[in-house]
Structures are given as C-alpha cells and as structure tokens.
Amino acid sequence: MAVGFKYGVYIPDHGTNRVVRVEADRFAAGDFAWTAPAAGEVATGYGSLRPRHVLGREASTGKRGRAIVPDVGSDIWNGTATSFILKDDDGVTHTMAITGYVGEASSITP
C-alpha cells in the first residue's frame, strides 16, 4: 500500500540544505520537524551525504527499523521523543522504541 511522498528539507551539519523526498506520513510526524522547501527550491537528494537517523525496535515483535532525522533540533533527535512510528509497505504500523542515534557522514569536508 503506497503512502505517498512529499518534498522536505534536510538540514546537514555542514553545507547547504538538501531537498529530499520523504514519506508523507513521516513528514507529518511533528517529532521529526520536517519542513517544506521554499518556493523555487528544487529536489537535490542527499548527494554524497549519509543522513543522520535513529534506530528503533518494536518490543512486541522484535522488528527493527530506522528513520532519517532532518534537523538536530527535532524532538526525535534531542531525546524528548522516545519512539517513532514505522509503517510497513502493507500499511501495518509499528511503534519503535529508539535504541540508537547515528550521526551523518559525508565525504565532503567543511
């Protein structure tokens, strides 16, 4: 089951913002702090950047997941939020308790 996509702004630790495709449900989750690109901004993708993300695990099933975090100021990254929702391709949702934080990596030096 397709969930749909939107374009959102990923704010890297160094360099210019990236406009990337984001699942609409993830974009709407306020804990992640995705924002819409400004008028005229075009999709850039992540390029050589490996984006920061959180790792999670659902307690009842043991299922593991991850989610990209667009802004270090977001509740999901600063520890205010302790879980996130992951949706399977078939539309089943899983509540993932955050088990780890992985910072971004880039081959470009600031």
% of the chain residues with pLDDT over 90: 80
| Confidence (pTM) | 0.89
> For residue 79, how many other CB atoms are within 10 A of its CB?
9
Closest CA relative to residue 68, chosen from 106, 20, 108, 109 = 20
pLDDT in tens, 40-64: 999 999 998 999 999 999 999 999 9
102: Cβ contacts below 8 Å, ≥ 6 apart: 52, 53, 54, 55, 66
pLDDT confidence bin for 109, thresholds 50/70/90:
low
36's tokens: 């819409």
Domain limits of the chain?
5-102
